[in-house]
């Protein structure tokens, strides 16, 4: 039979808790005061006692400390992630006590010390009602020891947790590691203020965070669109810190505890010019773009670059914990790509790319899941890692200085020893490289192939500077049309109306499939326009400095061969 808790026993219980240092008289002023005097909207209709909603000196359960609620006997869905080194199971110890209210399955007024439930007004809702699905909440009830910290090098050694964040006596992370149910000095019953992620970084030490833009930016929300920080009272990116993107409870994207429901929304809620200065959202809506919204939940931080399904998300190229505004020169990564994984030109995956092209090669290298080519080349090679190989006869100087020491068409500022970024060509058509004020980088463009400027591949168009604006960014139009490097450039472009792409493959020529003597000067014919000569040959033969001959048929003319 249950018994009513007397005022004397309640006083004794309170004194015991105060002596033990586990209670705080300020609980009366928190939402955990479920008595009629409580400040919250959820409370007893007439009950005046405070502590009995959790504790009782008599008829309590076996759970410590003198627990006055029935413990849930349910199966919960725990948090899971491919990057998690621990193994959260069913809730234990203190977390199970918390869930006796916060999973919403047991009436708040149902107590061991009362024969009938206490009448309540209001009910738990929103993030206070965790339900039995804990997959969208920070993991709990797992052993956090030196082994876990050693496996995940971005976790603090638990031996360092000597402050307000504590593990339970069993060495487990529990709800009470972050929340103190008896006092609410910092909101949400947090054990310390989480401004600038002070609480989060007690356990999490993300590489690059101290210098990251998200850790220092004073940008604020302009009030338009979706509130990027719906669960905090902080007003800047820096003061929100981790909570600029993440939330520990009721996450929209559970595996990574992102506040928003999709990966890209977590970025675009700020990078649509409502918080960040530039508008990425406009770029990813252009005709040619990295289609971050085309897939959902496909990206995995530990994915195999060679076998992963074709997809792209913002975090494939950017590490939000390390990205910063530092500049760099080709081929080195800039701060935007700091601490992002990549693949070397030799094909080796690296945790932190040193060069920009290594980030690109994760998707545009050895992965076989590539779309059909838009240009039918004589030498077909979709793997850009192989096309940029420095051992090749010709390539744009991305992974190495170019193969030729004679490129007379280069405009001032470029030389045969220059290096280029992939993003020198593939970038927003409204970004700074194109003379605009939009975002930099290959987010989206109005030009085909996600190019910064126009590069026409259409045969039969009379040459104009605007058609090949991308080429003329580095190569002098006057030099090209003046036939300085090739005696028939002007004829091909202005009389035959041929596109640059009819003869040139801008990435490079793979030596594994082409002839190492031929196919210099990025020669790789478009076979939808160029066919074999009358003798059945289709080839370019380099015969030395600015000399060569071609075997082919193009625009009805048989070159068998044509010398220059």
By the 8 A CB rule, do 33 and 84 touch? Answer: no
CA dihedral 470, 471, 476, 482 (to 10 degrees): -130
Q: b/e per residue, 330-355, with b = 16+ CB within 10 A?
A: bbebbbbbbbbbbbbbeeebeebbeb
Residues above pLDDT 70, as percent of the chain: 94
Instruction: Tell me the mean pLDDT in the region 127-135.
Output: 97
Return the ∠ at Cα 447 (arms to 443 and 453), rounded to 5°.
90
Question: pLDDT confidence of 348, banded at 50, 70, 90?
Answer: very high
- Classify 25 as helix, strand or coil: helix
Q: What is the pLDDT of residue 518?
A: 66
DSSP code string of 292-331:
TTS-SS---TT--TTTSPS---HHHH--TTT-------TT
pLDDT above 70 for 23: no
Which tokens hold the place of 160? 């360092």
pLDDT above 90 for 278: yes
Domain spans of the chain, in order of start: 1-138+176-185, 209-277
422 CB-contact burial (10 Å; exposed 0-12 / middle 13-18 / buried 19+): buried
pTM exceeds 0.85 for this model: yes
By the 8 A CB rule, do 356 and 423 touch? Answer: yes
Question: pLDDT confidence of 513, banded at 50, 70, 90?
Answer: low
Q: What is the pLDDT of residue 60?
A: 66
Which tokens hold the place of 120? 């309540």
Question: pLDDT confidence of 145, banded at 50, 70, 90?
Answer: very high
How far is residue 25's CA from residue 44's CA, in Å, rounded to a whole number?
Answer: 19
Question: pLDDT confidence of 512, banded at 50, 70, 90?
Answer: low
Q: Read off the pLDDT of residues 42-70 as tens digits, 9 standing for 90 and up.
A: 999 999 999 999 999 877 676 678 899 98
Q: Read off the pLDDT of residues 154-184 as tens digits, 9 standing for 90 and up.
A: 999 999 999 999 999 999 999 999 999 999 9
Which tokens hold the place of 295? 């897939």
Instruction: Tell me the mean pLDDT in the region 448-476.
Output: 97
Q: b/e per residue, 238-264, with b = 16+ CB within 10 A?
A: bbbbbbbbbbbbbbebbbbbbbbebbb
pLDDT above 60 for 313: yes
pLDDT above 70 for 2: no
By the 8 A CB rule, do 5 and 56 touch? Answer: yes
Which tokens hold the place of 104? 């919403």
* Average predicted confidence (pLDDT) for the chain: 92
pLDDT above 50 for 455: yes
Instruction: Tell me the mean pLDDT in the region 429-452.
Output: 97
Return the ∠ at Cα 471 (arms to 468 and 476), rounded to 5°.
105
Question: pLDDT confidence of 25, banded at 50, 70, 90?
Answer: low
């Amino acid at each position: 039979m249950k018994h009513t808790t007397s005022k004397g026993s309640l006083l004794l219980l309170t004194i015991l808790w105060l002596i033990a240092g586990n209670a705080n008289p300020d609980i009366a002023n928190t939402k955990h005061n479920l008595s009629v005097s409580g400040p919250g909207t959820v409370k007893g209709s007439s009950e005046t006692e405070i502590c009995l909603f959790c504790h009782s000196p008599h008829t309590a359960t076996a759970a410590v400390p003198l627990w006055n609620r029935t413990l849930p006997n349910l199966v919960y869905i725990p948090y899971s992630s491919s990057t998690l080194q621990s193994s959260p199971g069913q809730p234990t110890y203190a977390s199970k006590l918390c869930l006796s209210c916060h999973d919403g399955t047991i009436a708040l007024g149902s107590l061991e010390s009362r024969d009938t439930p206490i009448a309540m007004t209001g009910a738990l809702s929103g993030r206070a009602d965790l339900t039995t699905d804990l997959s969208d909440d920070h993991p709990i009830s797992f052993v956090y020891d030196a082994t876990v910290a050693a496996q995940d090098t971005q976790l603090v050694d638990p031996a360092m947790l000597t402050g307000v964040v504590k593990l339970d006596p069993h060495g487990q992370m529990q709800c009470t590691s972050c929340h103190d149910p008896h006092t609410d000095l910092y909101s949400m019953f947090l054990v310390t203020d989480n401004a600038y992620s002070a609480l989060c970084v007690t356990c999490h030490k993300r590489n690059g965070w101290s210098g990251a833009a998200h850790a220092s930016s004073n940008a604020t929300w302009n009030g338009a669109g979706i509130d990027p920080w719906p669960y905090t009272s902080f007003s800047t990116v820096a003061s929100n810190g981790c909570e600029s993107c993440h939330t520990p409870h009721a996450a929209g994207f559970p595996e990574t505890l992102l506040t928003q429901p999709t990966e890209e929304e977590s970025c675009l809620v700020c990078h649509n010019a409502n918080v960040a200065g530039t508008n990425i959202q406009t770029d990813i809506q252009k005709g040619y773009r990295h289609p971050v919204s085309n897939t959902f939940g496909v990206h995995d931080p530990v994915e195999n670059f060679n076998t992963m399904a074709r997809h792209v998300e913002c975090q494939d190229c950017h590490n939000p914990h390390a990205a910063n505004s530092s500049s760099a020169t080709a081929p080195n990564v800039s701060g935007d790509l700091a601490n992002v994984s990549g693949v070397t030109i030799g094909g080796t995956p690296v945790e932190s790319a040193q060069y920009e092209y290594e980030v690109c090669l994760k998707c545009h290298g050895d992965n076989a899941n590539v779309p059909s080519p838009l240009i039918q080349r004589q030498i077909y090679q979709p793997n850009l890692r192989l096309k940029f190989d420095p051992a090749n006869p010709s390539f744009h100087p991305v992974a190495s200085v170019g193969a030729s020491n004679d490129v007379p068409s280069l405009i001032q500022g470029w030389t045969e020893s220059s290096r280029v970024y992939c993003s020198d060509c593939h970038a927003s058509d409204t970004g700074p490289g194109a003379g605009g004020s939009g975002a930099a980088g290959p987010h989206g463009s109005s030009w085909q192939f996600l190019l910064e400027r126009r590069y026409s591949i259409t045969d039969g168009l009379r040459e104009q500077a605007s058609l090949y604006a991308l080429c003329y960014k580095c190569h002098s139009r006057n030099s090209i049309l003046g036939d300085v490097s090739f005696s028939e450039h002007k004829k091909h472009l202005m009389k035959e109306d041929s596109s640059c792409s009819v003869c040139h493959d801008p990435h490079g020529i793979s030596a594994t499939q082409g002839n190492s003597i031929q196919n210099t000067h990025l020669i790789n014919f478009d076979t939808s326009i160029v066919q074999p000569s009358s003798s059945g040959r289709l080839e370019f033969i380099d015969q030395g400095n600015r000399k060569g001959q071609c075997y082919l048929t193009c625009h009805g003319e048989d070159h068998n061969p044509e010398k220059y």
